[in-house]
Each structure stands twice: as structure tokens, then as C-alpha cells.
Amino acid sequence: MYLVEKLYNDLVTDPDNKEGRKLIEEYSTTHADEPELIRRTGKDKNGSQCYRITEAACDDPDGSKVVYRFNDTFIELRTPFDDWRGLITLGAVGGLLPAGGIGVPMLVTDVIPTLVAGADLRTGEPLEFIDCLSLTVVLVVVVGWLWAMFHFGWRIFRLESFTQRRLLVRFNRRTRKVYVHRPSYAGGIVELDWECVTNSVSPRYGRTPGSVLGVPMALMWYPLETPHGRPEMVFVGRCAQSGDELERLWEFIRRYMEEGPQSVPRPRCIGKFPWPWRSVMASGSLAWPLFKMGGLRWLLPLVVLVSPAIACTATGHWISQLLCWEPVFPRRIRQACGEGIGAVIKARLIDAGAWLMAAAVGWGLYRFISSLLAQA
């Protein structure tokens, strides 16, 4: 779900948002020299120590479970909130299913033809006033419900469905650029300078544990160092469970960009096809910190309590993945990264497979509902 990215984009792009204008003004004036201060001294204006791209954060860089692509030219990473999806899609499907799966077929096959004919289709007897009123109420309720779902829920629904399947953050060590691929409502596609990056990882975190849901790593660019004159904040990797995990991920990215791919352990890349078990793993990863909090004596009760929630969110996660498309960078960026038309073809093949799977699931669901209606 791209709610966090959308809220931040609305904050810095809405001209009527006073907080957003204040933030941009502060970063453009009061904090304008802070990036150079961090790069020169390793400390911000408050005296807090910050990791620079020229100094090591730890001795054991780790990019496991966060890398989509890895080669001599670039690495492509996931973002932490990709797993936080499914509930909106599940709610939307649950809201549309009664009206779309039952109401619309009933309108098309029975209600509308009966009102047009003005008589009962089975017996041929003219409709009474109460019959016309009842059928009209059914028509208005079904159409009104569908209109309300699409009119008021479309923007929320598009936070995780009928949009790109994932956000992409690509680090190109040859051009020294960071390319970010997001939906237009979440900031769009942007090209940023690696030399100007600052990060949210701090030595003061050390080995301290994070929150239950984890802490994401944010990469930041100040307004004077972005192409559009607004501050940029990009979340990278997974939600870490400790400051140590954040340090290892930052060091993995830093070493790759500064020293090359031979300086980091080659990670096992994540696949992009939306298999259902990947949705189960994504939903389970959100609940895993709960298991780590409790001892073995709480393991069985936790499994019993959490399993239905994991099953529901995994179902919604998978449906939302099937209803999206695979993002591809523009041609100019692909050429800078040494990619050809093969990257586009591969993405479209993934889409074709996912949409065929979605069609099969939809057809099976339609047959199931039809059988229930026939029995009724």
C-alpha cells in the first residue's frame, strides 16, 4: 500500500498545505547548508552524528530479501510498505461482491426486463404498483451502491490495486544516480543524485531493537538538491527490527555504490511474479514480530489467534497483486542502466500470467456464485 508515499507527496506538493509550505521553506533556508555540513563533518546542525557515503557503517553489509536486481551496473531494491496491502482490496471486494456478483446479474436478467415489459416474465400478469415500486427500489439500491463504491472508494482502492505492483528504487553506480519509480499520486518517477543523499540511519541506534512493526530506512534529499525543488524522502528495504539491521542494509548500498559489486555479498534476488505463497509470506512477516515477543508457551495460542488474520490479509494481498501491473522505467533510464527491450517484455509476460490467473479466479468465483443462486 502506498499510503505513506501519497501522504508525503500531498504534503510537499499541495500549495494550500501550510505545513508542507513551511517544511519546504525551512529546508530551503534554515537547513539549506545542512547537507554540506553532514558531508563535511558527519554531524547535522543539532550535533547528531550521521553516516556519510564515504565512511563505513559496519563490517557486515547485508542485502538479503530486499534486492530485485543485482549486476555490475545497478541494484534494484524493494520498499518496506509493499507488504502492507490487502485489507483495502479485501474490503473493496467484499463491498462490490454482493452488488456486482449478485445485484448486477439480477438486474440484467430479471429486474430491468420486468420493468420494461410491465409484466411478470413468468406468468405474463401485469405488475401491480407495489411490484413496480419494489423493483425500482432494488434497481436504485444496487446502482447507487455501485456508484458510491466507485465514486468515494476509487482513490483509496488505487492505493494498492489497479496501480503498479511495487515501488522500485534503483541505484546506478556508473551514472551515480538513484532512480525511483512510484505512481504519479505518490511522487512519480524521479532521478536523484547519489552524492546528495542523506539517510535516517544513525550510530546512536546501535544494536537497540526497533518497534514491533519495525523501522524503515529513509533516504532523503534536500530541496536545493532535487530536480523539482521539493524535499524527497524514499523508503528502502524492509522494516528493520533493530538499528543493526538498518546499518547493514545502508552499508550494503553504500559499498556497492562506492566500491563496486565485488565488495558486498551477492544477495539472492527476489522474484516478481505474484505467486500466492509470496502473499502468505508477506502477511506472515507482519505477524512474525509478535511471535518473537512471546515465549514458547505462547506460541500455540498466538498461531491460533493470528492465523485467520494472516489468511485474510494474504488473500487480499494476492488479489491486489493480480489486479496491478509491473512497473518499467522509461527508455532513457533503461538505456542508462544497460537494459533493452527485454526488460519490458519480461514485465509484460509477468502481467499476462498474473491477469490470466486473476481471470481464472474470477471465473471460478462466478461459477460458484451462479451455483448458489441456482440452488436458491
Is residue 356 predicted with pLDDT exceeding 90?
A: yes
Beta-carbon contacts of residue 7 (< 8 Å; ≥ 6 apart): none
Residue in 239, 267, 253, 262 with CA at minimum distance from that of residue 56: 253
Q: What 8-state DSSP symbol labels residue 80?
A: G
The model's pLDDT over 138-194, given as tens digits with 9 standing for 90+, comes to: 888 888 888 888 888 888 888 998 999 999 999 999 999 999 999 999 999 999 999
State how far the Cα of 257 lies from the Cα of 82, in Å rounded to an integer: 24
Name the band, by pLDDT with cuts 50, 70 and 90, for residue 370: confident
Q: How confident is residue 236, by pLDDT bands cut at 50, 70 and 90?
A: very high
Residue 32 or 211, more confident: 32
pLDDT digit string, tens, across residues 50-85: 888 988 888 999 999 999 999 999 999 999 988 888
| 149-151-152-156 Cα dihedral, nearest 10 degrees | 90
Tens-place pLDDT, residues 304-313: 677 788 888 8
Which pTM does this prediction carry? 0.86
Grid coordinates representing 227 are 530536480
- pLDDT beyond 90 at 121: no
In this structure, what C-alpha cell is assigned to residue 142? 444496487
